[in-house]
Structure 1
Amino acid sequence: MNTIKNEVFTSNIQTIGLLVDESKFRNSNELIQELVLNGIAPENIKIAAYRRKFKKKKTYSRPTFGKKHIDWRGRIKENFLEEFINTEFDLLISYYDVESPVLMMLTSKSKAKFKIGFSAVDQKLNRWMISTAMSEYKLFITELFRYLKSIK
């Protein structure tokens, strides 16, 4: 997959898309709270949560999807997910540290202006990578905002 980083960065971050692998990370609420504590309005944070084992009958507390929501050609079969990748967020946070073809495809297709993720994932996907463990979400957000302030 050959992606070109053509996003435009504005240091004034208002909207954030959060693509989270909830198969491994169950602290999405805390992650969102850290963003809010750093001045992002809760209504400007949109999340799409991925579960490797998606249960059709289960009710999830946030928009959640699995592999079955994307066909073999890479077409998305879930409206909220289509809307998520077509939103021009100021910032997309790809919160997964294991290369998953589904998540990587969504990061790649996202129309976000600026993309940030973990250094453990293919570096062509994101403009900036943070080297930390997924469980260290406070450190991740601290590093993120330190970086954002340095480019203002």
Structure 2
Amino acid sequence: MIFTGFKRKTNQIFFNKKLTEFVNETKEESSKKINNIIVIIDAINDEESIVKELSSLLKVDKSNITTVIAVNKKNKKAPIENSFSGADFGWRGKVKSDYLKNILTKKYDLLINYSKVDNLYVNLLILQCKSVFNAGFTHLNNELYQLLVDCEPDDYTVFNSELKKYLTILKKL
């Protein structure tokens, strides 16, 4: 449909405008330890293993780790509970999904993006999320993150060990 491309373009314009504001604003520095984590992934089958590994590695309870799964299209016959797609965003980056609205109202100490590709809607979510510290892979949009780890996107264990190392250096753990 013609409006899908137009909607995506308005979301891209909104993202570019908000990104310059995001880069220019100073993030509040928190010296407190990491308790609440939000994890964005794009592979449904990796969710449980990532949460388990993060919980043990960062010494955070599993109940304090929120996962959000980015999918291309939602399957209406077998919906995934904690997933979102481009359909959950309206014009100019407005969030339509109640699930995402609920996530965006909470504050997080750490946001981790395990996405393998740079996605406009994942970036919109990160931009609107109230997180103190953002971490992701180097192939992603580097303006959204305070920590970027250079490793293969499929290698979660290397990413997690590097993340722990740098969070320890920054005295966040």
User: What is the TM-score when the length of structure 2 is the normalising length?
Assistant: 0.80
State which of 12, 15, 36 in structure 1 corresponds to 2:55: 36
User: More helix by proportion, 1 or 2?
Assistant: 2
Unaligned runs of 5+ in 2: 1-15
State which of 56, 74, 77 in structure 1 corresponds to 2:76: 56
Look up the equivalent residue of 1:125 and give its one-letter code: L
Q: Secondary structure at the match of 2:121?
A: helix
The offset of 1:137, in angstroms, is 0.8
Q: Secondary structure at the match of 1:114?
A: strand
CA–CA distance in structure 1, aligned partners of residues 67 and 153 of structure 2? 16
The offset of 1:67, in angstroms, is 1.1
Look up the equivalent residue of 1:51 and give its one-letter code: V
Matched length: 149
CA–CA distance in structure 2, aligned partners of residues 28 and 135 of structure 1? 13
Matches within 5 A, 1:25-104: 26-38=45-57, 39-60=59-80, 62-104=81-123
The offset of 1:11, in angstroms, is 5.2
Confirm or deny: 8 A CA contact 2:34 2:110 kept in the other structure.
yes
Q: Tell me which structure has the larger Cα radius of gyration.
A: 2
Q: 2:139 matched to which residue of 1? A: 120
Confirm or deny: 8 A CA contact 1:10 1:90 kept in the other structure.
no
Q: Secondary structure at the match of 1:58?
A: coil
| Coordinate RMSD, CA, aligned | 1.6
User: What is the TM-score when the length of structure 1 is the normalising length?
Assistant: 0.90
The runs of at least 4 aligned residues of structure 1 exceeding 4 Å deviation read: none
